Amino acid sequence: MAKVTVKLFGVYRVDTHIANTEIDAQKLSDVLDELNKMAVGENKSSIAFADATVFINGEHCKKKKQKLNDGDEIWLLSPASGG
Protein backbone atom coordinates (compact mmCIF):
# COMPACT_ATOMS: atom_id res chain seq x y z
CA MET A 1 0.00 0.00 0.00
CA ALA A 2 1.15 3.50 -0.81
CA LYS A 3 0.02 6.57 1.09
CA VAL A 4 -0.97 9.20 -1.49
CA THR A 5 -2.36 12.71 -1.30
CA VAL A 6 -5.47 13.38 -3.34
CA LYS A 7 -6.64 16.84 -4.35
CA LEU A 8 -10.05 17.43 -5.87
CA PHE A 9 -10.81 20.34 -8.19
CA GLY A 10 -13.78 21.73 -10.07
CA VAL A 11 -17.21 20.25 -9.53
CA TYR A 12 -15.69 17.28 -7.67
CA ARG A 13 -14.59 19.59 -4.87
CA VAL A 14 -17.68 21.78 -4.85
CA ASP A 15 -20.05 18.78 -4.87
CA THR A 16 -18.23 16.64 -2.29
CA HIS A 17 -16.74 19.36 -0.10
CA ILE A 18 -13.48 17.41 -0.17
CA ALA A 19 -10.45 19.53 -1.03
CA ASN A 20 -7.53 17.32 0.05
CA THR A 21 -7.35 13.87 1.55
CA GLU A 22 -4.85 11.10 2.12
CA ILE A 23 -5.64 7.58 0.94
CA ASP A 24 -3.85 4.24 1.19
CA ALA A 25 -3.96 2.58 -2.22
CA GLN A 26 -2.03 0.34 -4.57
CA LYS A 27 -3.33 1.72 -7.83
CA LEU A 28 -5.34 4.63 -9.15
CA SER A 29 -8.60 2.69 -9.37
CA ASP A 30 -8.35 2.03 -5.60
CA VAL A 31 -8.27 5.79 -5.03
CA LEU A 32 -11.35 6.32 -7.17
CA ASP A 33 -13.21 3.55 -5.32
CA GLU A 34 -12.26 5.00 -1.95
CA LEU A 35 -13.41 8.47 -3.03
CA ASN A 36 -16.78 7.06 -4.05
CA LYS A 37 -17.18 5.73 -0.51
CA MET A 38 -16.10 9.04 1.04
CA ALA A 39 -18.25 11.31 -1.11
CA VAL A 40 -21.07 13.02 0.70
CA GLY A 41 -23.36 15.90 -0.10
CA GLU A 42 -26.52 16.55 -2.00
CA ASN A 43 -24.97 15.85 -5.39
CA LYS A 44 -23.38 12.51 -4.55
CA SER A 45 -25.47 10.64 -7.08
CA SER A 46 -24.12 12.77 -9.94
CA ILE A 47 -20.46 12.36 -8.97
CA ALA A 48 -18.56 9.97 -11.18
CA PHE A 49 -14.90 9.86 -10.20
CA ALA A 50 -14.23 7.39 -13.00
CA ASP A 51 -14.81 10.26 -15.42
CA ALA A 52 -12.22 12.55 -13.83
CA THR A 53 -9.18 13.83 -15.66
CA VAL A 54 -6.29 12.64 -13.51
CA PHE A 55 -2.82 14.07 -13.01
CA ILE A 56 -0.23 12.23 -10.89
CA ASN A 57 2.71 14.35 -9.74
CA GLY A 58 1.90 16.86 -12.48
CA GLU A 59 1.71 14.29 -15.28
CA HIS A 60 -1.51 13.44 -17.09
CA CYS A 61 -2.44 9.81 -16.31
CA LYS A 62 -4.99 7.89 -18.37
CA LYS A 63 -4.41 4.42 -16.87
CA LYS A 64 -6.84 3.43 -14.16
CA LYS A 65 -4.52 0.59 -13.14
CA GLN A 66 -1.54 2.92 -12.71
CA LYS A 67 0.51 1.75 -9.71
CA LEU A 68 1.07 4.32 -7.01
CA ASN A 69 4.04 5.14 -4.82
CA ASP A 70 4.29 6.62 -1.34
CA GLY A 71 3.99 10.41 -1.48
CA ASP A 72 2.34 10.59 -4.89
CA GLU A 73 0.09 13.61 -5.35
CA ILE A 74 -3.05 12.91 -7.36
CA TRP A 75 -5.25 15.63 -8.86
CA LEU A 76 -8.79 14.94 -10.02
CA LEU A 77 -10.18 17.56 -12.38
CA SER A 78 -13.54 18.05 -14.02
CA PRO A 79 -13.86 19.46 -17.56
CA ALA A 80 -13.94 23.24 -17.71
CA SER A 81 -14.61 26.16 -19.98
CA GLY A 82 -14.96 29.88 -19.60
CA GLY A 83 -13.46 32.92 -21.17
Partner 1 sequence: MTKYKGYMGRVLFVDLTEKTFSEFPWTDKDRERTLGGKIMAADILLHHITPEMKAFDEDNWIVVTTGPLTGCGCPNTSRFNISTVSPLTNIVTSSNCGGDFGLSLKRAGYDAVIFSGRSEEPVTVHITSDNVEFESASELWGLTTGETQEKLSEYKGRLVIGPAGENKVLYACVFSNERTAGRGGVGAVFGDKKLKAVTAVGTKLPEIANEEKLKEFNVKWTKLLKTHPLTGRQLPKLGSAGLIAPMQAHSILATKNFSAGRFDGFEKVSGEELAENHLVSNGACTGCVIRCARRVNVDGKVVKGPELETLGLFGPNILNDDIEKILKWNYELDELGMDAISCAGSIAFAMELAEKGVHDFGVHFGETDNISSVFEDIAYRRGEGNYIADGSKRMSDFFGGKEYAINAKGMELAAYEPRHAVGQGLGYATANRGGCHLNAGYMVVVEGLGLDVNSLTPHGKAAIGIMFQNLMECISAAGSCMFTSYAVLPGFLIAKPNMLATKVILACFPYVGPVVNLLSHFTKVPQINIPLLPHAIAVKLATGMKSNMAKFLTWGAYGWNAERMANIILGQKAGADKLPKRLTEELQDPNNPKTKVPLEKMKKVFYRARGWKDGIPTWHRLKTLGFDIDKSVYDKAVAAARTED
Residues lying near partner 1 in the complex (CB under 8 A): 9-11, 13-15, 19, 48, 50-51, 53, 55, 58, 60, 62, 64, 75, 77-83
Q: Which is nearer to partner 1, 45 or 80 (CB)?
A: 80
With contact defined as beta carbons under 8 Å apart, do 18 and 75 qualify? no
Q: Which is nearer to partner 1, 24 or 67 (CB)?
A: 67
Query: Least Å distance between CB 1 and partner 1?
Result: 24
Beta-bridge partners for 39: none
Query: Least Å distance between CB 54 and partner 1?
Result: 9
Q: Which is nearer to partner 1, 20 or 24 (CB)?
A: 20
CA angle (8 as vertex; 71, 35 as ends), nearest 5 = 80
- Cα–Cα distance between 67 and 74 in angstroms, integer? 12
DSSP string, 37-53: HH--STTGGG--GGG-E
